[in-house]
């Protein structure tokens, strides 16, 4: 894959997730079990980093401290777009990053504002990603069902691509 192709795929990946407000972050608990929780998505650019605000006292921070490998899943059923990202997470008190992604929505979770002493930034550096960009709309779904009924073959799922960033 050329650098131009990778850049186009990376741009598409971030175009798919930029408007999805909530992602599910999966971490590994101390006993090896997987735990997922919703996190506010603040993605604004197509860097290899996903940024989330979190509480420094949250179990998420403890889990990431023990195992940095995480998965972040994005879902937009209305437009039939789905993205799964795996990478390495770390937690910092990086005020510049916190300010970059601060929003009115964050104030709900951190009523003391940007100076909340429990505010931290969870950064996921993306290693791999996969996306499914399916045709959306009732007509397309009905057409897919008709194709399956007539041919016995499942309809196309749209554009699906695995990326190693």
Give the tens place of pLDDT for each residue, 8-37: 888 888 899 988 999 999 999 999 999 999
pLDDT > 70: what percent of the chain? Answer: 81
The size of the chain, in residues, is: 165
Parse the chain into domains and list their residue ranges. 3-164
Q: What is the pLDDT of residue 164?
A: 77
**Tokens representing 71?**
């998965």
Task: Share the mean pLDDT of the chain.
Answer: 85
Residue position matching structure tokens 């510049």 = 96
What does CATH list as the number for 3-164?
Answer: 2.30.110.10
What would the pLDDT profile of 60-98 be if each residue is shown by its tens digit?
999 999 999 999 999 998 888 899 999 999 999 999 999
Pairing mode of beta strands 34-40, 22-28 = antiparallel
- Paired sense of beta strands 69-76 and 81-92, if any: antiparallel
Q: What share of the chain is helix, strand, coil (3-state, %, to 5)?
A: 30, 40, 30
pLDDT for the residue numbered 101: 92
> pLDDT category, 139, cuts 50, 70, 90?
very low
């Amino acid at each position: 894959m050329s650098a131009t192709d990778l850049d186009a795929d990376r741009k598409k990946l971030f175009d798919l997730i930029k408007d999805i407000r909530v992602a599910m972050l999966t971490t590994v608990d101390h006993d090896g079990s997987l735990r997922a929780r919703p996190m506010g998505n603040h993605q604004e650019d197509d860097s290899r980093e996903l940024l989330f605000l979190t509480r420094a006292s949250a179990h998420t921070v403890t889990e990431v401290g023990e195992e940095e490998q995480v998965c972040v899943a994005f879902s937009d059923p209305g437009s039939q777009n789905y993205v799964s990202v795996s990478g390495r997470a770390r937690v910092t008190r990086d005020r510049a990053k916190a300010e970059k992604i601060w929003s009115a929505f964050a104030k709900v979770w951190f009523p003391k504002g940007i100076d909340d002493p429990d505010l931290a930034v969870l950064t996921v550096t993306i290693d791999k990603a996969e996306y499914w960009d399916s045709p959306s709309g009732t007509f397309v779904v009905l057409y897919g069902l008709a194709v399956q009924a007539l041919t016995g073959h499942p309809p196309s799922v749209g554009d699906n691509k695995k990326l190693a960033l």
